[in-house]
């Protein structure tokens, strides 16, 4: 059973039961405590959080919709594996969406949201090993940039990548922690280029930023394991 840290429990207090269960299981998956290819038992979660099985089932259905788990008849909840192909596909999708946002910002000389600077400041103050919150803030940084163009459909499309993006990012950063410093430099460089509406420079930074790392890909399975 995954251990619940005191700070994690504190963060869950005051939330509706189904939300607490959802956030707990999601965080355990992202932190790698529930590994890809493993089953999660309803009883395990209900015992860990002191809740009935009903909110656990509700949370499982939400997590399945977000592609964190697969619900298999008579077998339970199977944690989805992050595969090498999924990582490559995700980076390709992100490059398409974020490149479009960069072109719009630069060509229309749109102002950058102050939130991008604020998120960078938060990232700078995180403990070095706090990958979970780092990944959450990193995703928010990129989403704010996309939202700046004012295309709600594009923003929704990017948000739909959320579960895959978070799991891939956690896998990548956990596999290669040296990425943290490089990602920080690229974030600052991207803001500088966008502030000057330098499309060519900003796109080059994004291309480097979203370049799949061979060392990470090589450690991932090519396909998800058969259930």
Distance of alpha carbon 112 from the chain centroid? 22
Digit-coded pLDDT (tens) for 139-154 = 999 999 999 999 999 9
The reply to whether 129 and 116 lie within a common domain is yes
Query: At 1, is the pLDDT very low, low, confident or very high (cuts 50, 70, 90)?
Result: very low
Q: Please tell me whether residues 40 and 117 are part of one structural domain.
A: no
Q: pLDDT for 214-223, tens place per residue?
A: 767 777 777 6
Q: What confidence tens digit (pLDDT) does each residue in 4-28 have?
A: 555 555 556 667 899 999 999 999 9
Answer whether residue 1 is part of any domain. no
User: What is the CATH number for 59?
Assistant: 1.10.10.10
Q: Tell whether 224 is covered by a domain.
A: no
> In 49-63, which positions are buried (b, 16+ CB within 10 angstroms) versus exposed (e)?
bebeeebbbebbebb
How confident is the model at residue 9, as a pLDDT? 53
Residue 107 located in a structural domain: yes
3-state SS string over 184-206? Answer: HHHHHHHHHHHHCCCHHHHHHHH
Residues 60 and 152 reside in one and the same domain: no
**Inside any domain, residue 226:** no
| Domain encompassing residue 203 | 84-217
Q: Domain containing 101 — which CATH number?
A: 1.20.120.530
71-126 pLDDT per residue, tens = 998 888 999 888 888 888 889 999 999 999 999 999 999 999 999 999 999 999 99
Are 52 and 95 part of one and the same domain? no
Our count of domains for the chain comes to: 2
The yes-or-no verdict on residue 184 having pLDDT over 90 is yes
**pTM of the entire predicted model:** 0.80
What percent of the chain has pLDDT above 90? 59
User: Do 103 and 146 share a domain, yes or no?
Assistant: yes
| Residue 227 counted as domain residue | no
């Amino acid at each position: 059973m995954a251990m619940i840290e005191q700070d994690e429990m504190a963060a869950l207090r005051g939330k509706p039961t189904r939300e607490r269960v959802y956030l707990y299981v999601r965080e355990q998956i992202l932190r790698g405590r529930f590994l890809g290819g493993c089953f999660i038992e309803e009883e395990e979660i209900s015992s860990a959080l002191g809740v009935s099985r009903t909110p656990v089932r509700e949370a499982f259905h939400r997590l399945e919709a977000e592609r964190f788990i697969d619900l298999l008849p008579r077998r339970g909840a199977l944690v989805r594996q992050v595969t090498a192909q999924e990582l490559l596909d995700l980076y390709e999708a992100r490059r398409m969406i974020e490149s479009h946002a960069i072109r719009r910002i630069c060509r229309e000389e749109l102002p950058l949201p102050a939130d991008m600077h604020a998120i960078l400041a938060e990232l700078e103050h995180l403990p070095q090993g706090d990958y979970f919150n780092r990944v959450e803030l990193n995703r928010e940084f990129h989403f704010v940039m996309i939202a700046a163009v004012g295309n709600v459909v594009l923003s929704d499309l990017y948000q739909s990548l959320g579960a895959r993006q978070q799991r891939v990012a956690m896998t990548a950063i956990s596999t290669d922690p040296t990425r943290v410093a490089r990602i920080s430099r690229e974030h600052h460089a991207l803001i500088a280029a966008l502030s000057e509406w330098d499309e060519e420079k900003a796109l080059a930074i994004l291309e480097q930023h979203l370049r799949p790392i061979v060392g990470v890909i090589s450690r991932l399975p090519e396909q998800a394991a058969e259930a």
